[in-house]
Amino acid sequence: MVWSAEQAVYKADYSPRVLLVDDEPNVLKALGRTLRQESVQILTAPSGEEALTMMREQPVDLLISDMRMPGMSGAELLAQAAQEWPATRRVLLTGYADLESTIQAVNSGKIASYLNKPWDDLELRRVVGELLQARFLELENEQLTAELAEKNDALESLNAGLEAKVRRRTEELRYSYEHMVTLVSSLTAQREAPDSRAALLDALMVQEIAARLKMNMDDTDALRKAVMLSGLGRLGFTDAMLSKPYCDYDDSELQKFRQWPLLAEAALFGVPALRCASTYIRHQFERYDGSGFPDGLTADNIPLGSRILAVVRDYSDWLNGRVNGVKANLLQARREIEALVGKRYDPEVVDAFIEVSRRYQHSQPENNERCISSADLHTGMVLSRDLFSTRGMVLLKKHHVVDDDIISKMQHLEQLMDELLEIYVYRQDAAPQDTGGEQ
């Protein structure tokens, strides 16, 4: 998604502002050059303190800050910006060695995204485009709200003979708008803490799977939305249902569970832009062999988006312990999916999923490497693969040379997340020479 000039002039007095914060002038210049072709106003500040001063003097739509700066850190800046300007999107630039600070920024700064240094120009422009698009939609909704208020005032001035008709029309407009507001509110106030992070990871995975299966852009976008909204039906679950795995549901709870896709579809079907997504959600529990619900569809009669959604949803459920109460590791979760190929899942979809999931989990060690825990790491060991968090975030790149500081941070992260990392290192007799570490 790209921020366009047409969107930039949606309001004559509005042009999106992007504030770049870094204590290194060359970094600010490089960021500015990368974003110069976008239809945005670029502001720069060399410190967190100056950035806050600028934001108090003029509105800022997107704040991009470096993590490590003299005085106020990027995490502190983003946290304060989140309190004073919650509508401003926030992005963190960080190095691979800033794991603890990054976690702090995620928790206190409520960042929308983060990028590693050195950043990829295309990825930076993509992130900026998507965040400004979201900001644009907020402003558009504000304008629609104002227009709706103006129309209500005009309708109230009509004669008594038209009053009933005007009231009905006004209620229709208000209902459509409130429906969208309620939907967004439901997504942002989810009852289960892991859901927002899991939904973001799932959305990334389904887009890659859809690309491998040559799904067109519109359907892929509908699938991405379906993944983000597929859990709406769970909002009707009781606290007791949310606190126990599916395998422990009694008959009445299973009946509520089977209503999940229908309730989610009903919540979305009235929104034209989400109609395709609602269809994917309705059929997410169909099974490839026809034993699923609600319509007992089989094989290719199940929408492709629903077949993809089913695989990624169940993969996430295994990881979160929703299936049997035990959180599976990445390899175990994938094996559970593979075990039901041709029965519950489309074989082609699972093949694509397996390829994509390798970005988020590792396979068995090769002859020249071994998989160890952080407790077995020693200074000088060399990573033989990228190191991922259990949520799919790249923590360290392949060929990174481990030192005592990195080992301490890995162990601290495992304690914080209460999950073990899968760490692959070269055997001592097979480690590459002169690899160097990546920060």
> Which sequence spans correspond to the domains of the chain?
5-131, 145-188, 194-357, 369-426
pLDDT digits (tens, 9 = 90+) for 413-423: 888 877 677 78
How many C-beta atoms lie closer than 10 Å to residue 90's C-beta? Answer: 25
In terms of pLDDT, which residue wins out, 236 or 9? 236
Average pLDDT, stretch 52-63?
93
Q: Where are the alpha helices (DSSP H) in 157-274?
A: 163-188, 194-212, 217-229, 239-242, 251-269
Task: State which CATH number among 3.30.300, 3.30.1330, 3.40.50, 3.90.105 fits the domain covering 369-426.
Answer: 3.90.105
Average pLDDT, stretch 73-102?
82
Q: Is the pTM of this model over 0.95?
A: no
CATH number of the domain at 194-357, please? 1.10.3210.10
pLDDT digits (tens, 9 = 90+) for 329-361: 777 888 899 999 999 999 999 999 988 886 654
Amino acid letter, residue 123: E
Residue 94: per-residue pLDDT: 82
| Beta-strand runs (E) in 2-152 | 17-21, 41-45, 62-66, 89-94, 113-116
CATH number of the domain at 5-131, please? 3.40.50.2300
DSSP 135: H
Distance CA 95, CA 102 (A): 9
Distance CA 314, CA 308 (A): 10
Confidence of residue 306 (pLDDT cuts 50, 70, 90): very high
